[in-house]
Amino acid sequence: MNTEKSHSLFEEAKKYMPGGVNSPVRAYQAVKREPLFIKRAEKGYIYDVDGNSYVDFVCSWGPGILGHSHPQVIAAVQKACEDGLTFGAPTEKETILAKLISSLMPSMEMMRLVNSGTEAVMSVVRAARGFTGKNKVIKFNGCYHGHSDCMLVKAGSGLLTQSIPSGAGVPENCTKDTLIAEYNDISSVEKLIESNKGEIACVIIEPVAANMGVVPPKKEFLQELRKLTEDNGILLIFDEVITGFRLALGGAQEYYGVKPDLTSLGKIAGGGMPLAVYGGRRDIMENVAPIGKVYQAGTLSGNPIAVTAGIETLKILRENKNIYTELEKKSEILEKAFKGSGFNVNRVGSLLCPFFTDKKVESYTDALSSDTEKYAKYFSFMLEKGIYIAPSQFEAMFVSYAHTDEDIEKTAACIREAGKYMF
């Protein structure tokens, strides 16, 4: 596989950007390769600058549930661009998107549009603290909630990939009120609540942990967490930046039948454009400025182009009831290929992850037992076969509606071949 142009571009990029990239996991360090530079993407494929094509299971880290360059979304965005890229003023489309989200996810009674998942989480935690008048937050080991200071503790995603327990430049005072529980262990939450009585504003969780690979909640874990928070007057926040609109139209909260007090959304909500959302109960969100004292603002929040992409994507998902059925069917084929080839795999809906460990992966500790050297070997094998997966053991594999039956069968065949190669 020729990647000379990608190599040349990477050498130039390293002169101007840390590691030559604008997000750490793109650097391919964990898989001992150099990153590919992508020129374009269409449907279920991406194409690099050297002319290589790949079946894409990264899907821009989740937004691409419909695949790349969906004609309806592209046409709407192009038309919106003709009216101007940004106004810094209210537009009708912001309300259209908010109403659409609220109709699909009823817990989102009131919301605020922002620009990234990190911003959404930072803001939703602030809203929880402002509403309750309490400072302490419980998060879970290995769950990633963006790179705001108070959340950069025992996080997953790129931090796990690079073995960074927390980021440099984060003062201790910023994380002293962040308490760490163990994912899928309700007793660890109970202990923290008991030892910090009356001081905890909220519990924030990825309902499906998708930044330490894919780790689903144990049966009743989310229901027990909901009851525990309600009984103790603590707000429950679902970080659905990844799971929102991916597992179901109503996200993980519909999929598992658990209603949080607050939610953060991103990725699919913006149709692949820089857009995120936080919101939830009306009485909590009415404390956000300008009608409340919890301040949050953003020059490009509710950007009309990003909002347009979000509206069109959610409309397509709402109007085509077959999408989630097809995603389930395609994902199940890949899951069976993994299991039949000796891989230890977790799947929830269209999120998958193979782990190189003999343990059943139900927690951060289980995920860490994975052999990352083997994953790197597996990654290179699949890439050489034209299958583009995450360059890290601790990220999800995303299936899109644009993946054809042929794409899925090709990938399943490569998985089976990889099993013979790896085991």
Catalytically active residues are: 144, 239, 267
Task: Give backbone dihedrals phi and psi of 380, rounded to 5 degrees, phi first.
Answer: -65, -40
260 prior amide bond cis, ω within 30:
no
Distances (CA, A) of 311 to 31, 35, 166, 252, 280: 36, 32, 36, 20, 19
In SS3 terms, 141-205 reads as CCCCCCCCHHHCECCCCHHHHCCCCECCCCCHHHHCCEEEECCCCHHHHHHHHHHCCCCEEEEEE
Buried b (16+ CB within 10 A) or exposed e, 362-372: bbbebbbebeb
Q: Is 283 buried (19+), middle (13-18) or exposed (0-12) by CB count in 10 A? A: exposed
* CA distance linking residue 267 with residue 317, whole number of Å: 14
What is the Cα gyration radius of the chain? 21
Query: Which is nearest to 382 in space by CA: 351, 350, 341?
Result: 341
Torsion of CA 389, 207, 335, 32, to 10 degrees: 30
Question: Could you tell me how far CA 255 lies from the centroid of its own chain?
Answer: 16
